Structure 1
């Protein structure tokens, strides 16, 4: 029952669109826009120039006793839809349909062999059939088919010609219906794929932010716990703690534990059920092991480090390690067989890292960019900057600079 109502509603809307809707201009194709515009315009001008004399001759022969003004009007009714139907197919079809419906009524001779459409009108109806049928859906297409049968049965008096015209229109409409259905299915698939990709990108960003928040939570929780423990045990570890100082230590401990509890309440949901996050976080000293693992896998990678003996905050070490890890992973995935160089330098209160790979031995399809998004998020959270881009020789470079003691850590 609901399906029948839907069909009736679609049919009603299709007829209403053909008869009363305001025509909308067909957009030009995006690819090679200028060439397509000029090509279509040249074709339309040539076809109009060729068929205009045909229309004048046809109308003059069919109406030999009417005034030249009426002949010109009837000819314009046939020619005018030609330049309109390309960009305004509904308007062009309406004018052509009215001309096909009423112009034969005034004919003296039947010069086209009981065929209801003049040669000038055939390209108009063909273009309108294709454009409107494919763009506006099944209901509009079959209403056009039904309305086009009206002049056929009104002005053609032999059953054979009526049957031939009906079969021709039906075959064309059925083919367009089939093609239109395939195109609509493809458009729906493309739209669904785009929505899926957007959702994947959004989810990847959220997951990366959650992972960064979890790691920062682990580091901050560790230091907040140390503050609370040191403040609580200060009176027992030192003999020179006065009563006033003991109260200050108790206040510090209480505030530290309160802040720790609030932070765990806000971020604890991000830690749910992931045992891997309980493992020790990587540090800059683990970079050698990372590179060694890649070498064992056959990757040609070189690592240069300067100043890693300096003490750096844990979040900075984790960030540098993860960025280098992700950049090396991208290099091995998107440029297999290419040599990779990595460098990490600690100097002047900043950490500078750079990972570059040469052009790969084979061309691989680029990813969605989630890794780069995650790296930028990591570096930005610590007050740094990251750049990534392709080199002139076909290689790829990732470079980042971040402070050794970012404002978020002091």
Structure 2
């Protein structure tokens, strides 16, 4: 807990100084860029501002990683050479989003978290030590004054009693604050990190607020990646337009616009249009709330905005201001609602909202007949044209996003089909090689061993049995090879043999004994039922271990033992040192042991293998039975 508290403090407390420095620098650079834009100096200063903003954003991402969060890597557009290359940065949406976050959003968020954190850190020790330093404060203490107002009967009569009561209450408060300090600090750090991760991380294929519209933001260039993946050399597959969480930014933008409209619209409506302060607040809150509500429920948001607009027209009808029936703030709020609806839903939803607003505007104009003031008519025309343009623009942007998403999905499906086709081609090539080389050789072995008794005169019975066993094993191998070739070629109707398991190991041992090797088996008769996956892994392990003993230690004695301990199947295959011989053992590549480890680890088991002190080799495995 102490370590987490220190980590949370190390994340929250430095946030405000960094945010203040970033805000001051970025606002100054942005203002200088705007002021000097007519002199073309701002055109060069603005890309530098974006680079600085991205630097602060990357610092925020590093702080997130140190705290424990994992923001997704972002993609920036590469800067070219010369002035033209620098100007390309102005078309990078990711850098503009970094500027918005670091210059507008980061400071208020980190100011709130910093103030709460400092108050909580200071309040605990201050309240606990209140009994000491309060004695140097002249006059009545705050708690005693409060009790005098609320319940005078609870105030002790003596100064000592008042002092003890005051100290006890503050001590209790201090203990509570210190006990809750880790949770509060973690909550503040979590809130800051959640916001920063959402707004500074890469959303990949972003989504519009309805959660169903893919917003890939396709760019023609392949850009460089910033984040932990950058060091791996992986290619950047996302373009800069996709490197943000569209849903998070949509909510942030809508909430920010609603707050601005509330802060501006309330005093303007009350002062300019002489509306009652309370009524102006209610109408402005309704308009601002409709903007946010449209993100979640489009029809409800549009309905609320139309009702609020009608009420606003009625409340401002008696004013002498010529900008009526749509005050400027109400017009902006209504256009914002229509824009969100056009981006979120099909075109007819926003068109319905525009039609309702236009009918409301027409009704207001008709209500002023027969002498319609010029300001009323011009305001109505401006609103109708501007709002129609907003609806059209939002619908076009939505359609462009949908088309870009479909294009990206089509490209991904095409790439997946290409990979699948290449994979099938490679598998067919491997199948042809196996058929032409391995299967042919196995067929020759099978035919030669089966006809040896007829081709070689005076062959002994022992040798004849050996040839028959070779013929049987080669025919079995050919059958398995045919099934393998069918699987490689992707045939769905390939006949498959029953999967071998733990009960087939004894037959495997008997078949191997026919090669002349001495094998001792112990423990298989008492084994319980095991899962098929574990049984197959055990069978393949014994099969590979016996094969290795035959190839690398000919003439040795092999022991195969099995037991169940602590819910695990214990398998051991060991061989003694091979007798001295002039024949060199068969070389191996070590792939068999790797295959054993992969099979056993796939079912949650562990394999250990290595030479024994006596010169032999041992393979031990533990397989879970659950």
TM-score after normalising by structure 2: 0.34
TM-score after normalising by structure 1: 0.49
Between the two structures, name the one with larger relative contact order (CA 8 Å, sep ≥ 6): 1
